[in-house]
Amino acid sequence: MSLRVRQDVPLAPLTSLGLGGPARWLAEVGDAAALREALAWADERGLPVQVLGGGTNVVFPDAGFRGLVVRVVPDGLSFEEAGGRVRVRAGAGVPWDELVRTSVERGLTGVECLSGIPGLAGAAPIQNIGAYGQELADTLTSVTCLDRGTGEVERLPADACGFGYRTSRFREDEERDRRVVLSLELELRRDVPPRIRYPELAASLERSADLAAMAPAAAVRTVRDHVLALRRGKSMVLDPDDPDARSAGSFFLNPVLVPEAFEALVRRHAAEGGSEPVPSFPAADGIKVPAAWLVERAGFRKGRRHGGVGISSAHALALVNRDGTTSELLELAGEIREAVRRRFGIELAVEPTIVEADPG
């Protein structure tokens, strides 16, 4: 057997949160054949399987994982140009920001606002990553996956991926964990100025840059620089010297409300003494409300501690590990969700994957 399986491997060092007990078994796979072998190995032993990428959007339990954790790390990054459009192919194990940085260095437009997002490319289509007015769905053309049920490799076009706000068919209950991403393809553009849709980014650029006067390639590089600066200001880039970076990024999704629900929120906020307007942004399916605003108005301010965990001092949506436990983190998350529900009548959805200790 060519597959190398290790036993009792600590999971905390493999995640950005630094939480969780050991994996009973762990294997790293670099292609579809190795993945099939790992899945067969687990199936023969009746073990549950948890796929792990960069570990930046996952929460493991304190007890660890009793089955097989599979780290999928196929790499490779290529660019194929034709008529101003560039096809980018990335293996699932390519760090996402390496893809963005390389694309921007080549003067390509389409992913510059996604700069600094931690994790691997393979996780990008699962949650349709997005930031500062861009989403992966804007440029992705296909995802190549292995179907765990059949063992077959399949190529799904973008319109078959069911993309929505921070979600996709890969996260739907009936298809969750059915497929493992092996690679993805995007289509980026050359000599096309970047589009700025997000107010915070627009304000940052207006203070120090004139994008209209720049060549498109220079403008794309400038946008990346500003996005990275904004993310660093919120401790949303991986930095071992920043204690607020020991997080899984945004722990809660920004809720998208239908107009009637948004108006109810406005009335409820006013009735409880709120004087400032409820911030909102247009979204494809309704009106998006910043979850950070809801969290803070529900009484959970930046920097708050809960045992060995807490809320980032830089961003109210990031729950951080300060040498605590997963149990403490989930307790804090539960308290926040309950407070927001009581104060505003809104159920906050959790963004990272919460792994069960005993999924059997």
Assess whether pLDDT exceeds 80 at residue 358. no
Whichever domain contains 202, its CATH number is 3.30.465.10
Nearest to 247 by CA among 237, 260, 255: 237
Which residue, of 72, 94, 125, is where some domain finishes?
72
- Are 112 and 59 contained in the same domain? no
Domain membership flag for residue 100 = yes
Please state which of the ranges 33-47, 160-174, 259-273 shows the lowest mean pLDDT. Answer: 160-174
Note whether 90 and 121 are within 8 A (CB). yes
Note whether 145 and 161 are within 8 A (CB). no
- Are 126 and 154 contained in the same domain? yes
pLDDT digits (tens, 9 = 90+) for 206-249: 998 889 999 999 999 999 999 999 999 999 988 888 889 999 99
- Are 104 and 173 contained in the same domain? yes
Three-state helix/strand/coil letters over 244-289? HHCEEEECECCCEECHHHHHHHHHHHHHCCCCCCCCCEEECCEEEC
Average pLDDT along the chain: 94
Number of domains observed in the structure of the chain: 3
Higher local confidence (pLDDT), 223 or 166: 223
Select the highest-mean-pLDDT range: 123-137, 168-182, 270-284. 123-137
Higher local confidence (pLDDT), 254 or 360: 254
Q: What's the pLDDT at 140?
A: 98
How far, in Å, CA of 220 to CA of 225, rounded?
A: 9
How far, in Å, CA of 317 to CA of 247, rounded?
A: 10
Q: What's the pLDDT at 359?
A: 60
Note whether 78 and 36 are within 8 A (CB). no
160 token code pair: 């078959």
Active site residues: 166, 250, 351
Assess whether pLDDT exceeds 70 at residue 4. yes
Note whether 79 and 185 are within 8 A (CB). no
Q: Which residue has the tokens 């964990």?
A: 177
pTM, full prediction:
0.90
Assess whether pLDDT exceeds 90 at residue 305. yes
Q: Helices marked H in 139-286 — which ranges?
A: 199-208, 216-233, 259-271
- Are 68 and 181 contained in the same domain? no
CB hemisphere CA count around 122 (13 angstroms): 26
316 token code pair: 């109210």
Q: What's the pLDDT at 239?
A: 85
β-bridge mates for residue 95, sequence order: 120
CB hemisphere CA count around 78 (13 angstroms): 8
- Are 157 and 46 contained in the same domain? no
How far, in Å, CA of 15 to CA of 353, rounded?
A: 12
Domain membership flag for residue 238 = no
How far, in Å, CA of 185 to CA of 155, rounded?
A: 10
- Are 88 and 177 contained in the same domain? yes
Domain membership flag for residue 319 = yes
- When pLDDT is cut at 50, 70 and 90, the band that residue 360 belongs to is low
How far, in Å, CA of 142 to CA of 247, rounded?
A: 30
Domain membership flag for residue 360 = no
- Are 184 and 291 contained in the same domain? no
- Are 160 and 125 contained in the same domain? yes
351 token code pair: 């963004």
How far, in Å, CA of 88 to CA of 109, rounded?
A: 12
- Are 223 and 293 contained in the same domain? no
How far, in Å, CA of 299 to CA of 317, rounded?
A: 13
Q: Average pLDDT for residues 300-318, to the nearest whole number?
A: 96
Q: What's the pLDDT at 243?
A: 87
Q: What's the pLDDT at 131?
A: 95
Note whether 197 and 103 are within 8 A (CB). no
pLDDT digits (tens, 9 = 90+) for 49-101: 999 999 999 999 999 999 999 998 888 999 999 888 999 999 999 999 999 99
Q: What's the pLDDT at 320?
A: 97
How far, in Å, CA of 121 to CA of 308, rounded?
A: 31
How far, in Å, CA of 125 to CA of 239, rounded?
A: 24
**Number of neighbouring beta carbons within 10 Å of residue 212:** 7
Task: For residue 19, give its domain range.
Answer: 5-72
Nearest to 74 by CA among 128, 36, 25: 36
